[in-house]
Amino acid sequence: MANVRKIARRSFLIGSAAIVGGVAFGAYYVARPAPNPLTPGEGEAVFNPFVAISAEKITLIAPRAEMGQGVHTTWAALIAEELDVTLDQVEVIHGPAAAAYYNTAMMGEVIPSKGYDKSDFMHAISDHLGALGKVMDMQVTGGSTSMKDGYMRMRAAGASARETLKQAAANRLGLSRDQLSTKDGQVIAPGDVAIPFTDLAGEAADLSPVEAPLRPRSEWKLLGKGQPRIDMTGKVTGTATFSIDTRLPGMKFAALKANPSLGGEMRSYDATEALSMPGVEQVVDLGNGFAVVASNTWLAIQAAEVVQADWGAAPVPATHDGIRSAIRAAFDTAPNSTLRDDGDTATLPQGAQEVTAEYEVPFLAHATMEPLNATALFDNDRLQIWSGNQGPILTRNHCAEALGIEPEQVEVITTLMGGGFGRRGEMDFSVYAARLAQAMPGTPVQLTWSREEDMTHDFYRPGAMARMRGAVREGTALMVDAEIASQSALSQAMTRWMGFTPSGPDTAIVDGVFNQPYAIPNFRTRGYVADLQVPVGFWRSVGASFNGFFMESFMDEMAHAAGADPLEFRLSLARKEWEPAAKVLETVKEMSGWTGQTPEGTGRGVAMTYSFGTPVAQVIEVADEDGMIQVTKAWIAADLGVALDPQNLEAQLSGGMAFGLSAAMFGEITFAEGAAEQTNFPDYDGIRMHTMPKVEVRVIEAQEHIGGAGEPGTPPAAPALANAIYDLTGNRPRRLPLMKDFDLQS
Amino acid sequence: MPTSVTINGTAHSVDLPGDVPLLWVLRDEIGLTGTKYGCGVAACGACTVHIDGVAVRSCQMALEDVDGAVTTIEGLGTPDAMSALQAAWAEHQVAQCGYCQSGQIMQAASLLSDIPAPTDSDIDEAMQGNLCRCGTYPRIRAAIHAAAAKMQEV
Ligand code: FES
Ligand code: FES
């Protein structure tokens, strides 16, 4: 294993070379099945890492982060569909951190193909590369990959468990397996004999698993229909336990305070006054910050404010303009990624009109509704950590390393998450809690970040700039030459997570431009990496979160320059490239009754972005209400390939759009002396009840492959809104957030 | 001197400084974790509870200022006996991450006791202090209307 990792470190390239590297070093190791992490109890049958049945109950393991996207429900439905149980008959748990739960889809996503045009051969390579996830400790929830990953595997896990149960029943009854059927958690034998699965657990435990083919879609009972979410009752009665709700006997409450100048050290601190405050028990040095331990969280937060610390400087330009200059300077360096270079972008096509525009978007915080926190207990050289995290194996390994113990001495209990959006894929909040617990052995402690601490110590969505050049003639686009500059969130995150920096092009910087399904004959995309140390990371939809705005605002500018209707302009280019992209545009056209005309006082904008395997089109309508711009309506169409749970997909797409609108309208983080200047919701607001448009969603199933759901709703939101504002006001938004240049209802 | 507060019908005696906000008394002292911390500055509504039936932000309510009976989400209904409003929330599958929902429901309950059949603009007005980062607003609105209709029937 160590050896494989060493090879991985050397040869892992983000890009095409990874395919070669993957095949060369991966084959012998990745093909070995990972051990089943579930240990059966007395009389319990553990069929595979995802299904366990005892005399009392049926347990399904959904080892992905439940952060609001409903993954536990849909994951369980995949298993239940083949196992023949209903969702109210089972208990669904997240389960432990284990190699068996690696994400088979995630690494496959790094292939720098456009995605929608992947051949079956490319899909096969992605699948192969996906196995690298095991080597890389990728039990990760992110990249909208859960359903791509689980779709085949979980149904197979359910089918195999079902057939094994039937075999146990067949043995008991002296019948053959094909004389039996299953229904609602029971094996049914001729003569109205019904044996509950739970009754067969003991006998099934001794059998080796039976393989079974998957049922055709026409026989599905659960999939394809809206399922009541298994976490819903808990979440409407206040009984769902988020990480911050962990309560252990004798537990102490602590508050974190780290150097606000990000990346700077803590030289010293004086806690004398804090220690004299009521309820305060101790102050613990955590390296670049400290934790105040008290009898409740509020007392700890108050005391943390009065500790006098001597903070070192941040390794970034002192002013925000200095940071912006550093991003702009990247344009003068060699491009890191030129992932599309079709035709000739050097010469303006004969008789064409040139269109140019520059755009800029800010840094953004994740601002998950539940502030970061984790609870830990260190006892007898063992660590237990309760943490709402998107990567339990990495969390386990990072905690072990920080404490100087072995990964086997760490137990990670992954809780429900009050939002993730990419932030909970990081390990920092778990590691701080682990180190605090080590300083107070035998006492469980919950370490909470105040909202201010959370917002000012993020791994931000990087600020980004674009320089776009295009050409139009006869109502259509002949050329797009896009240049995008930002920090590389991918290389920063890989360095933090894996301890090495991948070489090769960073697809994320140009994702949402280079892979857009438009038949533009001369099309080049270059990405430039800004040399900056602002902590950046993955934020819902990653690079597409800014490139969706750049590309689709520019498409609008080109359409207007060409004298074409913005929707028809896109539609004709999409039709020639990839039918599903055209289909989502046609669908929003129909849903919104798009005519290209809007009455006085109303504006409409359209945008379409293909990301994470899913094309999503949105039309957004705005209205002038007493001089203020109100977002009134939104129509969304998305092609998921297979819509496993339409009701939940509607929520994800609508929520993803809301997340994009929040940022587009109000979101901006600026830095002074390397410290974030926005600290809480009053200066980093989101969309709210009165500013949220009415939304209509339609999910279609035209494409062949299953698409992601959590992220693709976000990228088209900003450009669709910006284009609507242009339609209303005649002023073209070229920077975000929009509140800086327009009077938005807030 | 211990302060006495009535929470969900039970009297509690709390030995804490009087300036500790009710939110933290509930969460860290009494162990009622259904009420959430989101911002601590009255900007998100995650901490909303009722005092004598009226919605208040518990992060802004000092223990010593609590002058009525406190109801939290746990007191509104339970998994086995949900209130009509909670049932409407479940029916409409409102929650995504769910973290804001206790506060949303408590705010909506207070709205419905003031205005039994709220209009969209009543809802905008009453609910705008409650932030939902997952963007569940359309379903919240639908659930409030549905609960209002249901409660009118009886
Ligand atoms: S925590 Fe009280 S309003 Fe946000
Ligand atoms: S459901 Fe996640 S914040 Fe509202």
Tokens, residue A43? 């009389």
Tell whether A647 lies on the interface with B, counting CB pairs under 8 A: yes
State the DSSP H helix or E strand holding residue A402, giving kind and residue range, or none if neither.
helix A392-403
Same domain, A493 and A401: no
- Write out chain B residues lying below 8 Å of A659, CB-based: 133-135
Q: What does the alpha-carbon distance between residue A402 and residue A404 come to, in Å, rounded to a whole number?
A: 6
Q: What does the alpha-carbon distance between residue A430 and residue A52 come to, in Å, rounded to a whole number?
A: 29
pLDDT at A76: 92
pLDDT at A141: 79
Tell whether A110 lies on the interface with B, counting CB pairs under 8 A: no
State the nearest Cα–Cα gap between B154 and chain A, in angstroms. 22
Residue A1 lies in a domain: no
Q: Which atom of ligand 2 is nearest to the CA of A369?
A: 3
Give the mean model confidence (pLDDT) for residues A433-437. 98
Q: Which residues 684-703 of A are in CB contact (within 8 Å) with B?
A: 685-690, 692, 694-695
pLDDT at A338: 87
Annotate A19-30 with three-state secondary structure. HHHHHHHHHHHH
Reported as a pLDDT band with limits 50, 70 and 90, residue A120 is: low
Ligand 1 contact, B37 CB (< 6 A) = yes
Q: How far is CA A666 from CA A26, A362, A365, A669, A742, in A?
A: 45, 11, 11, 10, 11
Q: What is B3-75's CATH topology? A: Ubiquitin-like (UB roll) (3.10.20)
Angle between helices A197-204 and A146-173 (to 10 degrees): 80
State the DSSP H helix or E strand holding residue A285, giving kind and residue range, or none if neither.
strand A280-285
At which of A428, A448, A468 does a domain end?
A: A448
Residue with tokens 């990371």: A537
- Write out chain A residues lying below 8 Å of B83, CB-based: none
Same domain, A247 and A296: yes
Same domain, A306 and A326: no
Same domain, A354 and A379: no
All structural domains of chain B with their residue ranges = 3-75, 84-153
Q: Which residues 316-375 of A are in CB contact (within 8 Å) with B?
A: 367-371
Same domain, A599 and A476: yes
Q: What does the alpha-carbon distance between residue A645 and residue A676 come to, in Å, rounded to a whole number?
A: 39
Q: What does the alpha-carbon distance between residue B150 and residue B134 come to, in Å, rounded to a whole number?
A: 26
Reported as a pLDDT band with limits 50, 70 and 90, residue A2 is: very low
Residue A729 lies in a domain: yes
Closest to A239 (Cβ–Cβ): which among B34, B100, B124? B34
Residue A267 lies in a domain: yes
Q: Report whether pLDDT(B99) > 70.
A: yes
Q: What is B84-153's CATH topology? A: DNA polymerase; domain 1 (1.10.150)
B131 and A369: CB-CB below 8 Å?
A: yes
CB neighbour class for A417 (10 Å; exposed up to 12, middle 13-18, buried from 19) = buried
Reported as a pLDDT band with limits 50, 70 and 90, residue B145 is: very high
Q: What does the alpha-carbon distance between residue A402 and residue A30 come to, in Å, rounded to a whole number?
A: 28
Query: What percentage of chain A exceeds 70 in pLDDT?
Result: 92
Q: Report whether pLDDT(A643) > 80.
A: yes
Q: What does the alpha-carbon distance between residue A185 and residue B12 come to, in Å, rounded to a whole number?
A: 45
Residue with tokens 């003031």: B114
Residue in chain B nearest A446 by alpha carbon: B28
- Write out chain A residues lying below 8 Å of B94, CB-based: 236
Number of domains in chain A: 3
Query: What percentage of chain A exceeds 90 in pLDDT?
Result: 79
Size of interface A-B (CB pairs under 8 A): 198
Closest to A369 (Cβ–Cβ): which among B38, B43, B79? B38
Same domain, A574 and A432: no
**Residues A468-513: tens digit of each pLDDT:** 999 999 999 999 999 999 999 989 998 998 887 777 788 889 999 9
Q: Report whether pLDDT(B4) > 60.
A: yes
Tokens, residue A73? 């429900």
Query: What is the greatest pairwise CA distance in chain B?
Result: 48
CATH code of the domain containing A330: 3.30.365.10
* Lowest mean pLDDT segment, chosen from A62-76, A317-331, B113-127: A62-76
- Write out chain B residues lying below 8 Å of A658, CB-based: 134-135, 137
**A373-379 and A445-448 strand pairing:** antiparallel
Q: Report whether pLDDT(A421) > 60.
A: yes
**Residues A5-54: tens digit of each pLDDT:** 443 443 343 333 333 333 333 344 444 567 788 888 888 888 888 999 99
Residue in chain A nearest B142 by alpha carbon: A694
Same domain, A46 and A69: yes
Distance of CA A205 to the CA centre of its chain: 37
Q: What does the alpha-carbon distance between residue A169 and residue A176 come to, in Å, rounded to a whole number?
A: 9
Residue in chain B nearest A453 by alpha carbon: B39
Q: What does the alpha-carbon distance between residue A391 and residue A395 come to, in Å, rounded to a whole number?
A: 6
State the DSSP H helix or E strand holding residue B11, giving kind and residue range, or none if neither.
strand B10-14
Same domain, A488 and A589: yes
Task: Give the ipTM of the model, two decimals please.
Answer: 0.98
Same domain, A395 and A529: no
pLDDT at A32: 54
Mutate to test the pocket of ligand 2, among B37, B93, B99 (most ligand atoms within 8 A of CB): B99
**Residues B48-94: tens digit of each pLDDT:** 999 999 999 999 999 999 999 999 999 999 999 999 999 999 999 99
Residue whose C-alpha is closest to residue B109's, from B120, B123, B93: B123
Q: Under 8 Å CB-to-CB from A121, ≥6 apart: which residues? A: none
Q: How far is CA A304 from CA A163, A282, A641, in A?
A: 58, 11, 51
- Write out chain B residues lying below 8 Å of A296, CB-based: 16, 20, 24, 27-29
**Residues A597-618: tens digit of each pLDDT:** 999 999 999 999 999 999 999 9
Residue A5 lies in a domain: no
Q: Which atom of ligand 2 is nearest to the CA of A368?
A: 3
At which of A416, A448, A480 does a domain end?
A: A448
Mutate to test the pocket of ligand 1, among B39, B51, B99, B128 (most ligand atoms within 8 A of CB): B39
- Write out chain A residues lying below 8 Å of B20, CB-based: 296, 298-299
A 10 A CB-CB count for A714 gives 31
Cα of A746 from ligand 2 centre, angstroms: 19
Residue whose C-alpha is closest to residue A484's, from A500, A459, A466: A466
Reported as a pLDDT band with limits 50, 70 and 90, residue A279 is: very high
**Residues A692-713: tens digit of each pLDDT:** 999 999 999 999 888 899 999 9
State the DSSP H helix or E strand holding residue A479, giving kind and residue range, or none if neither.
strand A476-486
Give the mean model confidence (pLDDT) for residues A345-356. 96
Give me the domain span that covers residue A96: 33-102+137-237
pLDDT at A45: 86
Average pLDDT of chain A is 91
Q: For the whole model, what pTM was predicted? A: 0.93
**Is A62 within 8 Å of A71 (Cβ atoms)?**
yes
Reported as a pLDDT band with limits 50, 70 and 90, residue A437 is: very high
Best of B133, B136, B144, B145 to disrupt the A interface (most A CBs within 10 Å) is: B133
Q: What does the alpha-carbon distance between residue A690 and residue A678 come to, in Å, rounded to a whole number?
A: 23
Same domain, A286 and A204: no
Q: Report whether pLDDT(A722) > 80.
A: yes
Tell whether B110 lies on the interface with A, counting CB pairs under 8 A: no
pLDDT at A126: 56
User: Residue A697, CB half-sphere, CA atoms under 13 Å: how many?
Assistant: 24
CB neighbour class for A480 (10 Å; exposed up to 12, middle 13-18, buried from 19) = buried
At which of A448, A481, A506 does a domain end?
A: A448
pLDDT at A148: 81
Average pLDDT of chain B is 97
Same domain, A261 and A385: yes
